Amino acid sequence: MQSQVPSHSDEIKVSFPLEHVMLLTFNRPKSLNAMTPTMDSDIDTILKWFDNEPSLWVVVITGEGRAFCAGADLLAWNQRAHSDKTPESELKDVELHVNGFGSISRRSSSSKPMIAAVNGGAYGGGIEILLNCDIVIASEDATLALPEVKRGVVAIMGDLLVLLDIKCIFSSSQVGANS
Protein backbone atom coordinates (compact mmCIF):
# COMPACT_ATOMS: atom_id res chain seq x y z
CA MET A 1 0.00 0.00 0.00
CA GLN A 2 1.16 3.47 -0.81
CA SER A 3 -0.37 5.04 2.29
CA GLN A 4 -1.65 4.16 5.75
CA VAL A 5 -5.29 3.55 6.58
CA PRO A 6 -6.71 6.76 8.08
CA SER A 7 -7.23 6.75 11.82
CA HIS A 8 -10.71 5.70 12.87
CA SER A 9 -12.69 4.67 15.94
CA ASP A 10 -12.98 1.10 17.16
CA GLU A 11 -16.56 1.10 15.82
CA ILE A 12 -15.02 0.16 12.45
CA LYS A 13 -12.43 -2.53 11.74
CA VAL A 14 -10.31 -2.45 8.58
CA SER A 15 -8.30 -5.46 7.44
CA PHE A 16 -6.76 -6.83 4.26
CA PRO A 17 -7.54 -10.57 4.03
CA LEU A 18 -6.27 -10.93 0.46
CA GLU A 19 -4.10 -8.93 -1.89
CA HIS A 20 -6.07 -5.99 -3.36
CA VAL A 21 -9.04 -6.60 -0.97
CA MET A 22 -10.10 -4.37 1.91
CA LEU A 23 -12.52 -5.76 4.50
CA LEU A 24 -14.52 -3.06 6.28
CA THR A 25 -16.36 -4.45 9.32
CA PHE A 26 -18.98 -2.63 11.38
CA ASN A 27 -17.87 -3.31 14.95
CA ARG A 28 -20.77 -2.62 17.31
CA PRO A 29 -22.14 -6.15 17.74
CA LYS A 30 -23.94 -5.38 21.03
CA SER A 31 -26.11 -2.83 19.19
CA LEU A 32 -26.42 -4.99 16.04
CA ASN A 33 -23.97 -2.62 14.35
CA ALA A 34 -26.36 0.32 14.49
CA MET A 35 -24.78 3.27 12.70
CA THR A 36 -23.53 6.18 14.82
CA PRO A 37 -22.41 9.56 13.48
CA THR A 38 -18.84 8.53 14.32
CA MET A 39 -19.16 5.36 12.23
CA ASP A 40 -20.65 7.32 9.34
CA SER A 41 -17.76 9.79 9.42
CA ASP A 42 -15.17 7.00 9.72
CA ILE A 43 -16.65 5.11 6.77
CA ASP A 44 -16.60 8.25 4.65
CA THR A 45 -12.94 8.89 5.47
CA ILE A 46 -11.91 5.27 4.92
CA LEU A 47 -13.77 4.95 1.60
CA LYS A 48 -12.25 8.19 0.30
CA TRP A 49 -8.83 6.76 1.13
CA PHE A 50 -9.78 3.41 -0.46
CA ASP A 51 -10.88 5.16 -3.68
CA ASN A 52 -7.44 6.77 -3.96
CA GLU A 53 -5.36 3.74 -2.95
CA PRO A 54 -4.21 2.06 -6.20
CA SER A 55 -3.22 -1.23 -4.55
CA LEU A 56 -6.83 -1.88 -3.44
CA TRP A 57 -9.34 -3.05 -6.01
CA VAL A 58 -12.44 -4.06 -4.01
CA VAL A 59 -13.99 -3.50 -0.58
CA VAL A 60 -16.09 -6.09 1.23
CA ILE A 61 -18.44 -4.62 3.84
CA THR A 62 -19.80 -6.78 6.67
CA GLY A 63 -20.89 -6.65 10.28
CA GLU A 64 -19.35 -8.15 13.41
CA GLY A 65 -21.57 -10.56 15.32
CA ARG A 66 -25.09 -11.63 14.44
CA ALA A 67 -26.13 -8.65 12.30
CA PHE A 68 -24.93 -6.79 9.23
CA CYS A 69 -26.34 -3.41 10.31
CA ALA A 70 -29.47 -2.47 12.25
CA GLY A 71 -29.69 0.94 10.60
CA ALA A 72 -29.34 4.17 12.54
CA ASP A 73 -28.48 4.17 16.22
CA LEU A 74 -31.82 5.44 17.50
CA LEU A 75 -30.37 6.86 20.72
CA ALA A 76 -27.92 9.04 18.78
CA TRP A 77 -30.62 9.89 16.22
CA ASN A 78 -33.04 10.94 18.98
CA GLN A 79 -30.38 13.05 20.71
CA ARG A 80 -29.62 14.90 17.47
CA ALA A 81 -33.32 15.39 16.75
CA HIS A 82 -33.93 16.97 20.17
CA SER A 83 -30.74 18.99 20.49
CA ASP A 84 -30.60 22.72 20.02
CA LYS A 85 -29.88 23.24 16.34
CA THR A 86 -27.49 25.89 15.14
CA PRO A 87 -26.67 26.70 11.53
CA GLU A 88 -23.30 25.02 12.09
CA SER A 89 -24.84 21.80 13.44
CA GLU A 90 -27.39 21.73 10.62
CA LEU A 91 -24.56 22.07 8.07
CA LYS A 92 -22.64 19.27 9.81
CA ASP A 93 -25.72 17.00 9.55
CA VAL A 94 -26.02 17.75 5.82
CA GLU A 95 -22.30 17.13 5.27
CA LEU A 96 -22.50 13.88 7.24
CA HIS A 97 -25.13 12.52 4.89
CA VAL A 98 -23.85 13.86 1.56
CA ASN A 99 -23.03 10.28 0.51
CA GLY A 100 -26.22 8.84 2.00
CA PHE A 101 -26.60 6.45 4.90
CA GLY A 102 -23.28 5.04 6.02
CA SER A 103 -21.56 7.26 3.43
CA ILE A 104 -22.25 4.62 0.79
CA SER A 105 -25.49 5.17 -1.11
CA ARG A 106 -24.51 8.21 -3.13
CA ARG A 107 -20.89 7.26 -3.67
CA SER A 108 -21.12 7.49 -7.45
CA SER A 109 -17.59 8.66 -8.08
CA SER A 110 -15.93 5.36 -7.14
CA SER A 111 -14.92 3.01 -9.93
CA LYS A 112 -14.06 0.23 -7.49
CA PRO A 113 -16.64 -2.43 -6.61
CA MET A 114 -18.23 -2.71 -3.18
CA ILE A 115 -19.48 -6.08 -1.97
CA ALA A 116 -21.89 -6.49 0.95
CA ALA A 117 -21.42 -9.71 2.93
CA VAL A 118 -24.71 -9.87 4.83
CA ASN A 119 -24.68 -11.97 7.97
CA GLY A 120 -27.87 -12.00 10.03
CA GLY A 121 -30.07 -8.93 10.04
CA ALA A 122 -29.98 -5.89 7.80
CA TYR A 123 -32.57 -3.35 8.90
CA GLY A 124 -33.41 0.18 7.84
CA GLY A 125 -30.23 1.91 6.76
CA GLY A 126 -28.50 -1.48 6.70
CA ILE A 127 -30.67 -2.31 3.70
CA GLU A 128 -29.72 0.99 2.09
CA ILE A 129 -26.05 0.07 2.43
CA LEU A 130 -26.46 -3.31 0.79
CA LEU A 131 -28.72 -1.96 -1.96
CA ASN A 132 -26.00 0.46 -2.97
CA CYS A 133 -23.24 -2.12 -3.13
CA ASP A 134 -22.37 -3.66 -6.49
CA ILE A 135 -22.74 -7.24 -5.23
CA VAL A 136 -24.62 -8.62 -2.23
CA ILE A 137 -23.82 -12.01 -0.78
CA ALA A 138 -26.22 -13.00 2.01
CA SER A 139 -26.08 -15.92 4.41
CA GLU A 140 -29.07 -18.24 4.45
CA ASP A 141 -30.21 -16.83 7.78
CA ALA A 142 -30.04 -13.19 6.65
CA THR A 143 -33.19 -11.15 7.19
CA LEU A 144 -34.01 -7.79 5.65
CA ALA A 145 -36.59 -5.33 6.95
CA LEU A 146 -37.50 -1.65 7.01
CA PRO A 147 -38.93 -1.36 10.54
CA GLU A 148 -38.69 2.44 10.56
CA VAL A 149 -42.15 2.67 9.01
CA LYS A 150 -43.52 1.54 12.39
CA ARG A 151 -42.01 4.72 13.84
CA GLY A 152 -43.37 6.95 11.09
CA VAL A 153 -39.97 7.35 9.42
CA VAL A 154 -39.67 7.07 5.65
CA ALA A 155 -36.69 5.31 4.05
CA ILE A 156 -35.79 8.37 2.03
CA MET A 157 -31.96 8.50 2.08
CA GLY A 158 -31.58 6.27 -0.95
CA ASP A 159 -33.49 3.03 -0.71
CA LEU A 160 -37.07 4.26 -1.11
CA LEU A 161 -36.77 4.66 -4.86
CA VAL A 162 -35.11 1.26 -5.16
CA LEU A 163 -37.69 -0.55 -3.05
CA LEU A 164 -41.02 0.82 -4.23
CA ASP A 165 -42.23 -2.60 -5.33
CA ILE A 166 -41.09 -4.58 -2.29
CA LYS A 167 -43.75 -5.15 0.34
CA CYS A 168 -41.49 -4.65 3.35
CA ILE A 169 -41.32 -0.92 2.78
CA PHE A 170 -45.02 -0.57 3.56
CA SER A 171 -45.54 -3.39 6.04
CA SER A 172 -42.24 -3.53 7.99
CA SER A 173 -42.29 -7.29 7.46
CA GLN A 174 -39.05 -9.23 7.15
CA VAL A 175 -37.85 -10.79 3.92
CA GLY A 176 -35.74 -13.94 4.23
CA ALA A 177 -32.61 -14.50 2.16
CA ASN A 178 -34.38 -17.28 0.22
CA SER A 179 -37.38 -15.11 -0.68
Rounded to whole angstroms, how far apart are CA atoms 32 and 12?
Answer: 13
Residue 164 has pLDDT above 50, yes or no: no
pTM of the model: 0.78
Q: How wide is the angle at C-alpha 40 spanned by C-alphas 28 and 135, nearest 5°?
A: 85
Q: What percent of the chain has pLDDT over 90?
A: 46
Residue 111 has pLDDT above 60, yes or no: yes
Please tell me which residue, 72 or 32, carries the higher pLDDT value: 32
pLDDT band of residue 177 (cuts 50, 70, 90) is low
Element (H, E) at 44: helix 37-52
Annotation marks residue 140 as catalytic: no
Cα dihedral across residues 160, 179, 175, 168: positive or negative: positive
Please tell me which residue, 179 or 59, carries the higher pLDDT value: 59
Return the HEC string of 144-177.
EECHHHHHCCCCCCCCCCCCCCCCHHHHCCCEEC
pLDDT at 141: 92
pLDDT at 173: 67
pLDDT at 113: 94
Lowest-confidence region among 23-37, 45-59, 149-163: 149-163
pLDDT at 158: 53
129 within 8 A of 101, measured Cβ to Cβ: yes
pLDDT at 33: 96
Q: Which domains does the chain have, with CATH numbers?
A: 12-176 (3.90.226.10)
Residue 17 identity (one-letter amino acid): P
pLDDT at 32: 96
Rounded to whole angstroms, how far apart are CA atoms 12 and 28?
Answer: 8
- DSSP for residue 102: G
Rounded to whole angstroms, how far apart are CA atoms 91 and 29?
Answer: 30
Annotation marks residue 19 as catalytic: no
For residues 63-78, average pLDDT: 85
pLDDT at 2: 82
Residue 75 has pLDDT above 80, yes or no: no
